[in-house]
């Protein structure tokens, strides 16, 4: 074989040519470029070559371009070397990066900021007088409840991500001084998901782990003493927010024999219970079977491409729920909430779900577990999650 066509790194050309006829191969900064013509569809090509490149330590993608001498969109300096007449297709093999490279300072900074944000919001829930910065620490149970639920959920995903060797970041916590002090946490997926089993495991692990943490936090909160509402708040007559209880929260209260509210206006349920409420609300939203939500991953793994039909029905269901609440209950806050989530779901449905490399069906055990997880998600649903009460 012509030495010019043999890359110094990456899989040999002859191993690639079963599905991709190589005209030239070059290496630049560790990235290997195979120029040539595919002998199969993009889906078949990716499925056939993915394992080969993965074993060699690369992520591979197929890039198309015009036949002219114009530059690559990604690396113009490299393409210019290939001359004015070049093949139309390029396999780009990039070295796989480690999951964690050094100290993840960005993740740590965002986590610390989220701790401070939830402590501040928790101090409001506990009616703490902030006469010094250290007074924030009195709200640590609220912070532990909120971040405990969210962290267990995200690291449930991360454990399965590492198990299936998918390239992804550590969780990024998002600080926001709202009702809960955060907008949650996200994991940035950098690598492709190998098959439906991995897609299912990654999707289902977060909600199940988060639900376990939610139940633990809720039960602890139910057994904690209620907090005392200051006289100025109890008799102030100002507006308030009432959070309605999902069925799972009611079930846990019944099983433990603990109250969720008190007839005495000077007493309120411990804010740790609200951490459990947040966990349930987040679980329900994440299990919406649309796009790249956890529910979208689960249903995509179970149904395959038919998941897009289910996803298309989700925005309609949310808009329908909003319309029903508007006409039947005049629950304005819930109407706005579900319209917003209907718009988000429509965008996610349009963007589409995660597509695994290999699309073989999963087994009956995973399908049963997925169905159970979605049912548990319904126990976390309440049509009117909260209401803003006028003074």
Tokens of residue 50, six digits: 């993915």
Q: Report the relative pairing of strands 386-389 and 240-243 from DSSP bridges.
A: antiparallel
- What pLDDT is stored for residue 167 in this prediction? 86
Distance of alpha carbon 250 from alpha carbon 379, whole angstroms? 10
pTM of the entire structure? 0.85
Per-residue pLDDT at 75: 47
Nearest Cα residue to 210 out of 124, 281, 104: 281
Q: Where are the alpha helices (DSSP H) in 224-306?
A: 231-234, 247-256, 271-286, 294-303
161-165, 331-335, 349-353, 356-360: least confident range? 331-335
Contacts of 385 (CB under 8 A, 6+ apart): 243, 244, 281, 334, 337
Asked whether the predicted pLDDT for residue 5 surpasses 70, the reply is no
Residues 326-333 have a mean pLDDT of 82
Concatenate the DSSP letters of all residues of 159-189 into one string. Answer: HHHHHTT--BPPPEEEE--SSSSEEEEE--B
Predicted local distance difference test score (pLDDT) of residue 63: 83
The pair phi, psi for residue 339, each rounded to 5°, is -65, -45
Neighbour-count burial of 105, counting CB atoms closer than 10 A to its CB (0-12 exposed, 13-18 middle, 19+ buried): exposed
Report the range out of 28-37, 321-330, 362-371 with the highest average pLDDT.
Answer: 362-371
| Number of neighbouring beta carbons within 10 Å of residue 263 | 6
Helix axes 140-163, 271-286, angle to 10 degrees: 30
Nearest alpha-carbon partner for 94 in 33, 22, 140, 146: 33
The token pair at 100 is: 């964690």
Helix (H, G, I), strand (E, B) or coil at 242: strand
Confidence bin at 266 (pLDDT 50/70/90): confident
How many of the other CB atoms lie within 10 Å of CB of 86? 20
200 — pLDDT class (breaks 50, 70, 90): very high
Q: To which H or E segment does residue 114 belong?
A: helix 105-125
| Confidence category of residue 65, pLDDT binned at 50, 70, 90 | low
| Average pLDDT value for residue range 336-357 | 93
Q: How far apart are the first and last CA of the chain?
A: 83
Q: Is 330 helix (H, G, I), strand (E, B) or coil?
A: coil
Give the whole-angstrom CA distance, residue 338 versus residue 325. 10
CA pair distance 249, 219, nearest whole angstrom:
9
Residue 87 clears pLDDT 50, i.e. is over it: no
Q: Is the pLDDT of residue 193 over 80?
A: yes
Displacement of CA 58 from its chain's centroid (Å): 25
Question: Which whole number is the average pLDDT over 260-285?
Answer: 93
What does the pLDDT look like over 288-315, one tens digit per residue? 999 999 999 999 999 999 999 999 999 9
pLDDT at site 264: 86
- Cα separation, 331 vs 171, in Å, equals 35
Decide if pLDDT at 62 tops 70: yes
Mean pLDDT across the chain: 87
Residue with tokens 């630049």: 28
**Residue spans of beta strands (DSSP E) within 190-233:** 227-228
- Residue 368 neighbours by CB distance under 10 Å: 11
Query: Which has the closest alpha carbon to 139: 241, 271, 240?
Result: 271
How sure is the predictor about 28, in pLDDT bands with cuts at 50, 70 and 90? confident
Q: Please name which of 319, 335, 315 lies closest in space to residue 384, comparing C-alpha atoms.
A: 335
Domains assigned to the chain: 13-95 (3.30.70), 105-305+353-389 (no CATH)
Q: Which residues on neighbouring strands pair with residue 217, listed in sequence order?
A: none
Q: Is the pLDDT of residue 144 over 90?
A: yes
């Amino acid at each position: 074989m012509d030495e010019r066509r043999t890359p110094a790194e990456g899989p040999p050309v002859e191993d690639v040519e079963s599905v991709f006829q190589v005209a030239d191969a070059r290496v630049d900064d560790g990235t290997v470029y195979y120029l040539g013509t595919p002998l199969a569809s993009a889906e078949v090509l990716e499925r056939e070559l993915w394992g080969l490149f993965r074993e060699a330590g690369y992520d591979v993608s197929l890039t198309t371009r015009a036949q002219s001498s114009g530059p690559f969109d990604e690396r113009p300096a490299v393409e210019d070397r290939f001359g004015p007449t070049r093949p139309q297709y390029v396999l780009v093999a990039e070295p796989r990066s480690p999951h964690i490279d050094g100290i993840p300072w960005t993740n740590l900074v965002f986590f610390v900021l989220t701790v401070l944000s939830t402590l501040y919001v928790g101090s409001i829930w506990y009616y703490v007088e902030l006469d010094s910065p250290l007074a924030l620490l009195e709200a640590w149970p609220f912070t532990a409840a909120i971040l405990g639920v969210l962290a267990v959920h995200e690291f449930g995903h991360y454990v399965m991500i590492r198990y299936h060797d998918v390239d992804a970041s550590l969780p990024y916590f998002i600080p926001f001084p709202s009702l809960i002090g955060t907008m949650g946490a996200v994991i940035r997926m950098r690598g492709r998901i190998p098959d439906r089993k991995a897609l299912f495991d990654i999707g289902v692990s977060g909600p199940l782990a988060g639900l376990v943490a939610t139940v633990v936090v809720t039960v602890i909160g139910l057994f904690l003493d209620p907090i005392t509402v200051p006289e100025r708040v109890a008799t102030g007559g100002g507006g308030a927010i009432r959070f309605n209880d999902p069925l799972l929260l009611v079930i846990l209260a019944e099983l433990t024999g603990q109250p969720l509210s008190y007839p005495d206006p000077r007493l309120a349920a411990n804010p740790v219970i609200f951490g459990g409420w947040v966990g349930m609300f987040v679980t329900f939203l994440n299990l919406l079977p649309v796009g790249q939500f956890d529910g979208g991953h689960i249903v995509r793994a179970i149904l395959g491409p038919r998941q897009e039909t289910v996803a298309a029905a989700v925005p309609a269901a949310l808009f329908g729920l909003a319309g029903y609440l508007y006409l039947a209950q005049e629950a304005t806050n819930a109407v706005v909430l579900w319209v917003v989530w209907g718009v988000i779901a429509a965008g996610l449905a349009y963007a589409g779900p995660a597509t695994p490399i290999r699309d073989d069906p999963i087994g009956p055990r995973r399908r049963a577990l997925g169905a159970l997880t979605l049912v548990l998600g319904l126990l976390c649903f309440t049509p009117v999650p909260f209401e803003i009460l006028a003074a």
